[in-house]
Amino acid sequence: MPHIPVHPSAEKRHRQSLKRRDRNRAIKTRVHSAVKQAVKAIEGNDANGAEQELRQATRVLYKAAGKGTLHRNTVARKVARLSRAYHQKHGAAAKS
């Protein structure tokens, strides 16, 4: 049975929570897609394409943190892992 608020303030709070849920879900979907594309590009052989996807994923992740959808430490961890993967595969040391 769905939640049915009784008081006007509870009704408003429920409306707000539904809006936030939709907004957060859209942001998380965007983040998931960007990270997935970045990982795919990093695994490929095109260093420039991988760098562009990494920048895009980083931008989307930090935007999600700014909006409060994801915690800033979670975002920092994800960016660090993506960046490390990129540099291991396409960095200057890997080319030597």
pLDDT for residue 1: 65
Domain membership of residue 1 (yes or no) is no
3 within some domain: no
Q: In the prediction, which pLDDT does 3 show?
A: 74
Domain assignment present for 18: yes
**How confident is the model at residue 80, as a pLDDT?**
98
Is 89 inside a domain boundary? yes
DSSP one-letter code for 46: -
CATH classification of the domain holding 30? 1.20.58.110
> Looking at the domain assignment, is residue 80 inside a domain?
yes
The burial class, CB within 10 Å (0-12 / 13-18 / 19+), for 38 is buried
Give residue 95's pLDDT.
Answer: 58
Q: Is residue 85 in some structural domain?
A: yes
pLDDT at residue 93, as a whole number: 55
* Contact between 37 and 57 (Cβ < 8 Å): yes
Q: Is there a contact between 27 and 69 (Cβ–Cβ < 8 Å)? A: yes
- Give the number of domains in the chain: 1
Residue 38 belongs to what domain range? Answer: 8-95
- Mean pLDDT for each 10-residue chunk of the chain (96 residues)? 84 94 98 98 95 97 97 98 96 62
Q: Is 52 helix (H, G, I), strand (E, B) or coil?
A: helix
Distance (Å, whole) CA 14 – CA 20? 10
Backbone angles phi, psi at 67, to 5 degrees: -85, -5
